[in-house]
Structure 1
């Protein structure tokens, strides 16, 4: 048998708990009302009514026959109780409290009356009490009106008022909980923005003390992260400057130095190493998040792809272009260019053949896919290379890499609210997809 799972949200749990507590309090209040207030009241009414019946029975026995006959007619006397009258009426599930009061009244009334004066309760055709009276000519059943205390008169309004107050209390609790949940929701949204690399505005601290303390701590954490980001940017800029300055001087000295036939191979190798170091420094800068500080602006993805494909074609690497209908959407131009260049460079270095770039849009997403026909890594192996400093088995023969290429691409895609995906290509090879929302909310 499956167990009902409790609500997951704090709002739903608190409202459910509040409703349960209100219902429990209502049940307890109704129990106290019926047992300690209404029951004594009904028992007193039954005692008074029994005394009235005894007086009426004595009066009927004492009056002359002709006067008694006229009086019995007015009391709607009958030789037997009507079939609608029952000694134990059926309970009314919709009005249990009235059933309870009726049973208490009948039990108390029967205890007060002699055993030869049975009582019947008629519900159909109007509620009345039928009681068998003594008379000289024989017992007769007479109908008497039911006292208001036995019918629960007035308790309906009390119960309706109590239920109304309970509903008001539950609704008030709901509004209070909604007010308490709103700063928590703001905190969750701000935390998601921080995890996406954004800087959310400070959270308000004018709410309840506990919520204000959490908001203040979050604001302090955000400021500390911003300061750490600034420190990291300054440190990386310093590293870049300190490394590139001597490299530039070395390159200049090598270019100005007189060369003979034996030094040309050394110079070429040295320049190759310098290019590799420069590439490594740039990849570290890209991975450090320089694109995060770049402002987004509406741009044409197809135009950027066409321009990069032309640049690669000038270097002898032809990419087959299939440009679909992609609407203009906001993206970071330099970051998007680095994303595409890394993917296309990987295709050139590791795929070599069947180079292609295609774009399309669907379901509010802009998609760009870079593919090749090389027999390199599988999609599963490429997924593992998203982690920083991971290099595939086909990179052993290629120097100058850091294992940050796909990590940089994925970070840029995430900055645009998108994802990086790997798919097997029809006809062999692989495609790397960058899928980004057209209306990017996190750019």
Structure 2
């Protein structure tokens, strides 16, 4: 069986969190070492101690048996009576007590002592242990040639007090080990949680946090590598923005000159269709350049400000209504929260413009709250998008099949929306609208603060 198969098999039995796994393994290791130590204690310390006690006790019993046998019958019976002598054993001694986990080690020690004592006594001197009404040992001795059972008190060596103390000590050490492992793991988990939190900030497009590197060596190395990675990402982002700005400037300059040259070179009254087509192509190129610039800088440097989401949507809806596109508004109770106003306006404009271009009919905007998130849905009654295409629409330069008949876009609009949504601690999802059409739903965290 391969190592990966063993890892998968045993990994299914372990807890998911690193904290729980380490504590479980530590407790298991301590339990194993304690079990080994306990086995050594029983076999090499306690058992020889019990054997020595059995030898001493057997000498005492044999001496007592010899004294009782040598005494006159009447005196011997009287002495045996003073020791609780009986012709027959008490009835409760004939039945073995029910095994109990609590009395397991006491029973083991009793059996070892009785076995060792029986080996050192003559075969006709049988031994029975009384567990009820006090710990006593019944031994069959000879009184005036007749067998008598007498009860003798037990020595401390035959009791299990030492084992019980040892078990309590083992349990205490295991608990101490678990507590120590928990505290150590908490110390290790804290920088790991900081690392995960910083990684989520970077993933959401926020300014990264520099992690401290003064912890344990291994954690410090991970934090240092993460800081180097985020520094490289910041440099790459700056380089990308600078490159796109340069490309935009270098292309727009000749485009402006081309527009002026066309206006000066083509006489008034010439082919208006050609002029309109040429200007349309130039506008198309300018629009694509602007989308590239918008995608390059989707609001990471803009500081959040407290504002009303419904008011922003109402303002945009009024602007679109002035252009002849009516949106039906269904605005829920959304409290004031901090967001990046310019970025969020760009997000809403992109979604509403898409609904106008590709949906055309049944335009609507809904808002509501779910937990600590504000939700916006831009809806239309267009032909909709297949389920297999919905997630692909958020990929840069990806366009749906119903968008290929439209010109003027580069496939970055929804990618920009997705980046701005993640920047606000949310996401963009698509779903089919009840009654036909499509809903583009955006969630925005209302607990997000500026980074």
Q: Does 1:355 align with 2:360?
A: no
Residue of structure 2 in register with 1:42 after alignment? 50
Q: Does 1:284 align with 2:292?
A: yes
Residue of structure 2 in register with 1:220 after alignment? 228
CA gap of 1:136–1:370, structure 2 versus 1, over 3 A, is closer
Aligned ranges 1:167-246 → 2 under 5 Å: 167-246=175-254
Shift in Å, 1:66: 5.1
CA gap of 1:85–1:394, structure 2 versus 1, over 3 A, is closer
Cα separation, 2, equivalents of 1:177 and 1:215: 17
Shift in Å, 1:263: 5.2
CA gap of 1:161–1:426, structure 2 versus 1, over 3 A, is closer
Residue of structure 1 in register with 2:341 after alignment? 333
Shift in Å, 1:245: 2.5
Question: Deviations for 1:6-29, whole angstroms, at most 9, x for unmatched residues?
Answer: 222222222111111111112111
TM-score, normalised with respect to structure 1: 0.92
Shift in Å, 1:94: 1.3
Secondary structure of the residue that 1:388 maps to in structure 2? coil
Q: Give runs of ≥4 in structure 1 deviating > 6 Å.
A: none
Shift in Å, 1:91: 4.3
Q: Does 1:75 align with 2:68?
A: no
CA gap of 1:153–1:397, structure 2 versus 1, over 3 A, is closer
Preserved contact between residue 416 and residue 437 of structure 1 (Cα < 8 Å): yes
TM-score, normalised with respect to structure 2: 0.90
The gaps in structure 1 that reach 5 residues or longer are: none
Match of 1:136 among 111, 133, 144: 144
Secondary structure of the residue that 2:428 maps to in structure 1? strand
Cα separation, 1, equivalents of 2:57 and 2:403: 104
CA gap of 1:367–1:167, structure 2 versus 1, over 3 A, is closer
Q: Does 1:127 align with 2:135?
A: yes
Cα separation, 2, equivalents of 1:173 and 1:377: 53
Higher deviation after alignment, 163-172 or 86-95: 86-95
CA gap of 1:42–1:374, structure 2 versus 1, over 3 A, is closer
Higher deviation after alignment, 338-347 or 252-261: 252-261
Q: Does 1:316 align with 2:306?
A: no
Shift in Å, 1:253: 4.8
CA gap of 1:273–1:436, structure 2 versus 1, over 3 A, is same
Cα separation, 2, equivalents of 1:368 and 1:43: 83
CA gap of 1:360–1:103, structure 2 versus 1, over 3 A, is closer
Residue of structure 2 in register with 1:430 after alignment? 438
Preserved contact between residue 77 and residue 143 of structure 2 (Cα < 8 Å): no
Higher deviation after alignment, 413-422 or 45-54: 413-422
Preserved contact between residue 417 and residue 441 of structure 1 (Cα < 8 Å): no
Preserved contact between residue 288 and residue 410 of structure 2 (Cα < 8 Å): yes
Secondary structure of the residue that 1:420 maps to in structure 2? strand
Cα separation, 1, equivalents of 2:106 and 2:405: 92
Q: Does 1:397 align with 2:400?
A: no
Residue of structure 1 in register with 2:15 after alignment? 7
Preserved contact between residue 427 and residue 443 of structure 2 (Cα < 8 Å): yes
Cα separation, 2, equivalents of 1:432 and 1:316: 21
Residue of structure 1 in register with 2:281 after alignment? 273
Shift in Å, 1:52: 0.6
Cα separation, 1, equivalents of 2:174 and 2:248: 68
Aligned residues: 442
Preserved contact between residue 416 and residue 442 of structure 1 (Cα < 8 Å): no
